[in-house]
Structure 1
Amino acid sequence: MEKVLIVIPDINKAGGSERAAISLANMLCDESDVTILSLVDNGNIPFFALHQKIKILYTDIGNIPISGKKKLIYFYNLYKHLKNFLNKNDFRFIIGLGHNINSVIALLKNKNNVVIGCEHINYDTIPTSSKILMRLVYPKLDAVVVLSELAKKKIKNLNNKIYVIPNSLPFITDKVSDLASNRILMVGRLSAEKGYERIVPVAKYLKQHFPTWRIDIFGEGEIYTDLIDLYQENELSNVSINPISKNIEKEYLTSSILLSTSYSEAMPMVFLEAMSCGVPIISFSHEGSEILIQNGINGFIVNGQNELQEKINIMIKDTKLRSEMGINCIEISKKYQSYTIKNLWLNLLSK
């Protein structure tokens, strides 16, 4: 049984990258001996369910600094740590998640291992200094895995072995939302790039035109207090912020619309979650929405606040359209079932 190492900044977070990493580990653990190496040890345990076969190891390397000088020191220490770790542990496959980790593991390539870099964010959002480093070291990777053909086009000059392997559905459910509740759902980390301030005019519009409808947010993060203050200042009694739930499926099944206000996404796991539960999506335009939303079929892609309110108005009023979109969500989500994505990974690892 081949040994696989997955390297990730912090496996215990409740974000999309962590969910994708755990989904990958769970998919591979029947055919491989899988270990996850987390660079942060905060004393917690993974938020998402992990197969008991999978081992987790933690380091004290910590989070990646923002400043350039500290970042260089961090990379040097990470390189030394991983090199020492790999000298003591024999892994056939090393899979990194994120450009920072990938840039380091690319330098640890040898004749006995296969080093694969996974990109789970929009390349356009990566800092220029990191892009320069990627141009230097990414050619050393045995393969680069991206989430879509669009993402592949953006990095086509970094490596000649780029494979498109989407995220898989994070859970399988035989239940479907009846789309009858007056509830708009938002799920994601409470951080600036998610654009939660964009719902202020939406919530005001709902209070005036659809007073029985509400927006429920599930997430945790650094701007929680700022958002609470913002919503209170605007008297948005129809908006709530709730801790992320381990039973998030229940929240989708009791919602009628998933709303995303993010400025940038690669391939949001929350879109896959919503689609599998038959919940149509309204999202601002970004890489992730272009991949997963067929505009007017399983949701709407919007380009501004006025269009956002217009599409919410349509989806609330037209229950037949909402139902049709929900059915389309389920059909489209089938291409992301775990056995399909697993086979793509197994094919890559067998090359």
Structure 2
Amino acid sequence: MKRKLKLAYIIPGLFYPSGMERVLTAKVNYFVKKFDYEIHIFVTDGKGSEPYYPLDEKIKLHHLDINFDGIFSLSLLKRTLSYWKKQRLFKARLEEQLCLIKPDITVSLLRRDVNFINDLKDGSLKVGELHFNRLVYRQFTDKRFPGFMQRGISKLWQGQLIKNLRKLSAFVVLTNEDAGYWRELDNISVISNPLSFYPDKAALLNNKQVIAVGRMTYQKGFDLLISAWEMVAKKHPEWILKIYGGGIGRCICRW
């Protein structure tokens, strides 16, 4: 009998309704149903919460119980010390589990494990999969620090990131445009997000309305959309833009 391919994925959590979680869930469900792969998912946060998007019952979900989310209410000093302590615990628990499971490929969603994923001694190929644009990834933007310090820390982070990404067997981004932002790397592959559904008919454009849906966070660039729509509205004032979503900057805008 042919041995099943064994894949391990690392992501902070699956309890939140976000794009990264949805795409991962769609892919692993497909891999199980189509190819009968053995899938393991490791999460650090959200213990006791069910995955927001349904997982195939054959997929094994491992909770490492690190709880990074719990440090954000602490003071800066305590948060920093707690973070590094949790990072060491995260690495130790993850490596222990991977050495037991022995996956063929370990796929990191390139969050907190990006700093040590290549150091794990489980024998699997290490692949990084990035769901963010480089312009908003690993940037230090804490307003409590002066601008030159923010830029300096961001530059340091970017240097460390490039060093770690070079060591991966493959670094996956979502679009060719994204790939163009990583010219320092020669291990890039482009794999677009899957379509979980496809419309069976095209819009007639009778309503003259455009909607945008997503989290109201800086990374999503709704501020850029609003600026662009200002130009659209001048030429086509009868068209309406509606933005829906939750998050820090939650709002519904109308022109």
TM-score, normalised via structure 2 length = 0.72
Gaps of 5+ in 1: 232-237, 240-351
CA contact (8 A) 1:123 1:154 kept: yes
Identity between Structure 1 and Structure 2 (%) = 23
Structure 1 residues 214-223 or 26-35, which shifts more? 214-223
Quote the Cα distance in structure 1 between the aligned partners of 2:181 and 2:240.
38
2:211 is equivalent to residue 185 of structure 1: yes
Quote the Cα distance in structure 2 between the aligned partners of 1:150 and 1:196.
19
SS in 1 for 2:41: strand
CA contact (8 A) 1:98 1:119 kept: yes
**Deviation at 1:109?**
4.5
2:100 is equivalent to residue 95 of structure 1: no
Name 1:54's counterpart in structure 2: 59
Q: 2:50 aligns with which of 38, 42, 45?
A: 45
**Deviation at 1:18?**
1.4
Name 1:167's counterpart in structure 2: 193
CA contact (8 A) 1:98 1:117 kept: yes
Name 1:124's counterpart in structure 2: 135
Aligned partner letter, 1:100: R
SS in 2 for 1:79: helix
Provide Cα deviations, 1:59-82, integer angstroms capped at 9, x if missing partner: 321236686834433322221121
**Deviation at 1:156?**
4.1
Provide Cα deviations, 1:216-260, integer angstroms capped at 9, x if missing partner: 433222333xx37xx6xxxxxx58xxxxxxxxxxxxxxxxxxxxx
Name 1:146's counterpart in structure 2: 173
Aligned partner letter, 1:164: V
Quote the Cα distance in structure 2 between the aligned partners of 1:53 and 1:173.
29
Structure 1 residues 9-18 or 38-47, which shifts more? 38-47
CA contact (8 A) 1:107 1:140 kept: no
TM-score, normalised via structure 1 length = 0.54
Distance 1:179 1:47, change over 3 A: farther
Q: After superposition, where does 1:1-351 map in structure 2 within 5 Å? A: 1-29=4-32, 30-31=34-35, 32-41=37-46, 43-63=48-68, 69-70=80-81, 71-110=83-122, 112-125=123-136, 126-127=138-139, 128=154, 129-158=156-185, 160-196=186-222, 199=226, 202=230, 209-210=237-238, 214-224=240-250, 227=251, 238=254
Quote the Cα distance in structure 2 between the aligned partners of 1:147 and 1:78.
27
Gaps of 5+ in 2: 140-153
CA contact (8 A) 1:3 1:93 kept: yes
SS in 1 for 2:116: helix
Quote the Cα distance in structure 1 between the aligned partners of 2:207 and 2:86.
48
Provide Cα deviations, 1:282-305, integer angstroms capped at 9, x if missing partner: xxxxxxxxxxxxxxxxxxxxxxxx
Quote the Cα distance in structure 2 between the aligned partners of 1:220 and 1:42.
22
Quote the Cα distance in structure 1 between the aligned partners of 2:237 and 2:160.
51
CA contact (8 A) 2:47 2:65 kept: no
How many residues in Structure 1 have an aligned counterpart in Structure 2? 223
**Deviation at 1:47?**
2.8
Distance 1:85 1:176, change over 3 A: same
Structure 1 residues 8-17 or 100-109, which shifts more? 100-109
**Deviation at 1:92?**
1.7
State the Cα RMSD in Å.
3.2
SS in 2 for 1:83: helix
Distance 1:217 1:56, change over 3 A: farther
CA contact (8 A) 1:34 1:55 kept: yes
